[in-house]
Amino acid sequence: MFNVKKDISKSYTLPASFYRSPAVFEEVKEKVLASSWLWVGDSSDLAEQGQQHPFTLLEGVLDEPLLFTKDKKENIHCLSNVCTHRGKIIVEEARKGRMLQCGYHGRCFGLDGSFKRQVAFEGAENFPSLEDNLSKIPFVEWLNMLFVSCNPQVPFEEMVAPIMERVAYLPLNEMEYDPNTSVDYFVDANWALYCDNYLEGLHVPFVHPELNEALDFGDYDYEIFPYCNLQLGIADENENRCFTPPKGHPDHGKRIYAWYFWLFPNLMLNFYPFGLSLNVVIPLRHNKTKVSFRTYKFKGTELSPSDYCIDATEMQDEAVVESVQKGIQSRFYRQGRFSPTHEKAVHHFHSLIQEYMAK
């Protein structure tokens, strides 16, 4: 099915069937999505001791009922939200309490998921056992955000190390979520097509006139890391809204319009002088995607996403991606080739997809 070669000059893109087949999408659920680190929220959702915060991991796709808790020692836990007795959801709505109790037969657990008690089980042999504890789910807290994986293949810290090398000097701990400039978009296309489009700047002069004016396209560059990549947007000489990294920084001497980072499989972290525009690409079906734009602003900044044509750029991207989704339904399209200069990051994404799908 796949013919993504290590040498980009000889490689082919993912086949059309990857984007249009419901059966392939079912494979992607387990092999790619369930095995990856996925953004699930902000740690500010768990500000107080005793909080119990239920959520569904990729609702409608993975549909895994999970639960965050915060104990009296300020430790956060991510647990299965399914009772180990008969499988009922334990916490239906966000609440506070010193213990977790299932509403079916009263089984109780600590906020760390450990079994505490169960009535009427006096005659049960080898009870309780470790299987009666709630499963603990791998999670990490990073930049005040929470990430979860059902079956992580790579340590999260290893994946994001190249990102931190670039942006650690910024006041990241002072970023504040701005709900007024955060918005969800729905795109009639496969989630991976949306990522493909994001991962190359070749289309910028043809699709994004406003962005093209702000960028020096001749100096647009790409850097590939094991599980993330970077598109380096250099500001046009007439564009003053840019970063000027300090001495010792890898980009010292450059006028950075934005660092466009992509983290496998579905996260874009766009660092602008106003802060971070986080784009979470959420698969809904094989041909439907939700993209959540979340804005985190540096304290005291007067800049905002509107200063960077983000909304106009998104509308242009949606139009072209939806057109591609229609086009790949053609019986005459199978797969394409890569631009060795401008589609390195797309090739990187497709290589990782091929690797994960082969497991």
| 49-64 pLDDT, tens digit each | 999 999 999 999 999 9
pLDDT value at 98 more than 80: yes
Compute the average pLDDT of residues 129-150: 97
| pLDDT confidence band for 309 (50 / 70 / 90) | confident
pLDDT value at 115 more than 80: yes
| pLDDT tens digits, 63-74 | 999 999 999 999
Cβ neighbours of residue 213 closer than 8 Å, sequence gap 6 or more: 236
| pLDDT confidence band for 28 (50 / 70 / 90) | very high
Compute the average pLDDT of residues 329-346: 97
Query: Per this entry, what is the length of the chain?
Result: 359
Q: How many Å apart are CA 322 and CA 325, to the nearest integer?
A: 5
pLDDT value at 271 more than 80: yes
Compute the average pLDDT of residues 310-332: 96
Locate the domains of the chain by residue range. Answer: 8-35+159-357, 42-142
Compute the average pLDDT of residues 114-138: 97
The listed CATH number (1.10.287.130, 3.90.380.10, 3.20.20.70, 3.40.50.2020) that belongs to domain 8-35+159-357: 3.90.380.10
* E strand or H helix that includes residue 307: none
Asked whether this chain's domains 8-35+159-357 and 42-142 adopt the same fold, the reply is: no
**Alpha helix positions (H), the chain:** 16-20, 22-28, 156-167, 191-198, 204-207, 209-214, 310-327, 344-357
The listed CATH number (3.40.50.1980, 2.30.42.10, 3.40.50.300, 2.102.10.10) that belongs to domain 42-142: 2.102.10.10
| pLDDT confidence band for 113 (50 / 70 / 90) | very high
| pLDDT confidence band for 212 (50 / 70 / 90) | confident
| pLDDT tens digits, 166-201 | 999 999 999 999 999 999 999 999 999 999 999 999
* E strand or H helix that includes residue 222: strand 221-224
Query: What confidence score (pLDDT) does residue 213 get?
Result: 86
| pLDDT confidence band for 291 (50 / 70 / 90) | very high
Could you tell me the pTM of the whole model? 0.95
Q: In degrees, to the nearest 5, what angle opens at C-alpha 155 toward C-alphas 71 and 91?
A: 30
